[in-house]
Amino acid sequence: MNATPTPKILIVDDETAQMKALCTTLKDRGYETVGFSSGKAALAELETMEFDLLLTDLMMPEMDGITLLQAVLKKQPGIVGIIMTGEGTIATAVEAMKSGALDYILKPFKLSAILPVLSRALSVRRLRQENAALQSRVQERTDQLEAANKELEAFSYSVSHDLRAPLRHIGGFAEVLEQSETSLSEKGKRHLALIISSAKHMGQLIDDLLDFSRNSRAEIRRTEVNLDQLLERVIQEARPETEGRNIAWKISPLPRVWGDQSLLQQVFTNLILNAIKYSRSRAPAEIEVGCTHETAAETVIFFRDNGVGFDMKYADKLFGVFQRLHRQDEFEGTGIGLANVRRIIARHGGRTWAEGKVDGGATFYFTLPVK
């Protein structure tokens, strides 16, 4: 282990005998001391040595303690200053504390009074150093995150341009071949249909991945959002998916929240389409949307269906990117929808979780902070 460095104190007092006595006494107590009877000489010493504490007399003829402290803080901002003063100048010492001093001690000195003040000053010094180191690490992580975001943006650009073009060619030429008069065997036609289907699925994967990337970077534009109106709009837009279906809707009043309306609409759309999709084998399908409770800090919204549900032991996978609990031939999808839900709600300061049972339906919950 590294030994704790000896704390260094710069002592300034125009009464030379008192300054030397203080240097000797504190040196015996484990401090490294350097003393001066002149403020200007003390400032010159700062050019070659760094100190933890400054212990300066308040009333000095050449340069008073407040002026000295302010000059020292400009050279070594991390130093902690303590003012020494007599009984008659306590009010001035308090003013010195407003100028950057941590504390003051009274003359004539009592060692029992000085040592606790120095100990506290060192603790403050260490705390400031730790905070500075923490801020430095936070800035470093922030810089790394910004660099990662730039890489992600470059990746998104590559996906949208470099992958989409050849994919469009594959899908387009396959459809042209399908519609041409070229004679294909039944096996060939199945293979061609599979190419077209896979190209469309890959295109949807790319689109969903780009949406997920954009949702990670898009600025949150908070306004008051009427969730009742938002839900009604989403259900109307989902009508092509519900035509010919027997669906029993149970919609409870939802609160107004403070959030990004566009992003929250994506959340509602994903969860509604999820409920519609995974309950398609039910007649009637039952879909419920409501608010379980509202606390002083957050409101909880839920989407419930009586569909195929899921095994709770896989619940942690539901909100992962490309995570699917059902085969593609059972239920279409890319496995990004719920990841988008979690990302958007997290950016709003909320939480997401789900409960379900195989063939017993599922309920998806998320919270939003109260305005």
Residue-wise pLDDT tens digits, 47-68? 889 999 999 988 888 888 888 9
Instruction: Enumerate the β-bridge partners of residue 249.
Output: 287
pLDDT digits (tens, 9 = 90+) for 23-48: 999 999 999 999 999 999 999 999 88
- pTM of the full predicted structure? 0.54
Mean pLDDT, rounded, for 155-169? 75
- Residue 312: CATH number of its domain: 3.30.565.10
Torsion of CA 49, 53, 55, 61, to 10 degrees: 50
Q: Mark whether 15 and 35 lie in a shared domain.
A: yes
Structure tokens at 71: 């000059």
pLDDT digits (tens, 9 = 90+) for 217-268: 667 888 899 999 999 999 999 888 888 889 999 999 998 888 989 889 989 9
Q: Mark whether 173 and 257 lie in a shared domain.
A: no
Last residue of a domain, one of 165, 189, 217: 217
Q: Mark whether 230 and 362 lie in a shared domain.
A: yes
Percent of the chain past pLDDT 70, that is, above it, reads: 88
Q: Mark whether 234 and 359 lie in a shared domain.
A: yes
Q: What local confidence, expressed as pLDDT, does residue 150 receive?
A: 74
Last residue of a domain, one of 109, 133, 161: 109
As a three-state string, the secondary structure of 252-268 is CCCCEEEECHHHHHHHH
Say which residues have a Cβ less than 8 Å from residue 340's Cβ, sequence separation at least 6.
208, 211, 212, 215, 266, 267, 270
Largest CA distance in the chain: 111
- Residue 174: CATH number of its domain: 1.10.287
Q: Which one is predicted more confidently, 49 or 324?
A: 49
Strand 101-106 versus strand 256-259 pairing type: unpaired
Q: Mark whether 232 and 206 lie in a shared domain.
A: no
- Residue 69: CATH number of its domain: 3.40.50.2300
Rg (CA), the chain: 35
Percent of the chain past pLDDT 90, that is, above it, reads: 30
Residue 121 included in any domain: no
Q: What local confidence, expressed as pLDDT, does residue 42 receive?
A: 92
Q: Tokens 């709009």 map to which residue? A: 233
Range of the domain at 62: 8-109
Q: Does the pLDDT value for residue 132 go beyond 90? A: no
> CA distances (Å), 205 to each of 234, 283, 328, in order?
22, 30, 13
Structure tokens at 160: 């949208």
> CA distances (Å), 161 to each of 10, 230, 322, 368, in order?
64, 33, 21, 36
Least Cα distance to 302 among 365, 257, 351 occurs for 365
Confidence band for 327, pLDDT divided at 50, 70 and 90: low
Residue 327 included in any domain: yes
Residue 203 included in any domain: yes
Domain count, the chain: 3
DSSP letters spanning 31-55: -EEEEES-HHHHHHHTTT---SEEE
Structure tokens at 126: 């260490």
Q: Mark whether 99 and 157 lie in a shared domain.
A: no
Supply the DSSP symbol for 220.
P
Pair 32, 9: CB distance under 8 Å: yes
> CA distances (Å), 149 to each of 100, 206, 209, 260, in order?
40, 18, 15, 21
The amino acid at residue 73 is L
Q: Mark whether 15 and 66 lie in a shared domain.
A: yes
Residue 134 included in any domain: no
Residue 124 included in any domain: no
Q: Mark whether 63 and 103 lie in a shared domain.
A: yes
Residue 122 included in any domain: no
10 Å CB burial of residue 46 (0-12, 13-18, 19+) is middle
Q: Mark whether 177 and 297 lie in a shared domain.
A: no
Q: Mark whether 198 and 233 lie in a shared domain.
A: no
Strand 285-294 versus strand 362-369 pairing type: unpaired
Pair 293, 343: CB distance under 8 Å: no
Q: Mark whether 168 and 283 lie in a shared domain.
A: no
Last residue of a domain, one of 190, 217, 244: 217
Indicate the length of the chain as a whole number: 371
Sign of the C-alpha dihedral, residues 151, 157, 159, 162? negative
Q: What local confidence, expressed as pLDDT, does residue 147 receive?
A: 83
How many helices (H) does the chain have, and how many strands (E)? 11, 12
Confidence band for 289, pLDDT divided at 50, 70 and 90: very high
